[in-house]
């Protein structure tokens, strides 16, 4: 894993998503009660940005066709539309010295 410093964490507000591009990879990030969650931004359906989706509780709704994902583990809960086992990859993220540190596979 390689750590990436993404800047000040307070630029991500609770309940709102933010997207980052790191070495060409799109990453979505949400804050829930001050805890950060990071996962692939590209929806596995047809590629809309999950980071621009609406967050309710720990579920983000894809803005294109309303599939829902649990931001804490990446699992798709729209089982009626998504094949069993559909998910987005999640990544470790922490706050150090008021800055976001995201770990991605090397
Ligand atoms: S692109 Fe996300 S549900 Fe269709």
Is residue 58 assigned to a domain?
Answer: yes
Q: Which domain holds residue 83?
A: 13-91
**pLDDT tens per residue, range 72-83:** 999 999 877 776
Q: For ligand 1, what atom is nearest to the CA of residue 47?
A: 1
For 10-29, write each residue's pLDDT tens digit.
778 888 899 999 999 999 99
Residue with tokens 């009660």: 33
- From 41, 49, 53, 62, give the residue whose CB has the most ligand 1 atoms within 8 Å, as the site to mutate: 62
Query: Has residue 97 been placed in a domain?
Result: no
Atom of ligand 1 nearest to the CA of 50: 2
CATH code, 23: 2.102.10.10
Regarding predicted confidence, which is higher, 10 or 64? 64
Residue 98 Cα to ligand 1 midpoint, Å, equals: 33
- Tell whether 100 is covered by a domain: no
Q: Cβ(60) to ligand 1 under 6 A?
A: no
């Amino acid at each position: 894993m390689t750590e990436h410093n993404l800047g000040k964490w307070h630029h991500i507000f609770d309940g709102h998503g933010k997207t980052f591009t790191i070495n060409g990879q799109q990453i979505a990030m949400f804050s829930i009660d001050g805890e950060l969650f990071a996962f692939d931004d590209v929806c596995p359906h047809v590629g809309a940005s999950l980071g621009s989706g609406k967050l309710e509780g720990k579920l983000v709704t894809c803005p294109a066709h309303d599939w829902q994902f649990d931001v804490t583990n990446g699992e798709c809960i729209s089982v009626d539309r998504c094949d069993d086992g559909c998910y987005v990859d999640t990544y470790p993220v922490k706050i150090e010295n008021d800055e976001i540190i995201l770990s991605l596979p090397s």
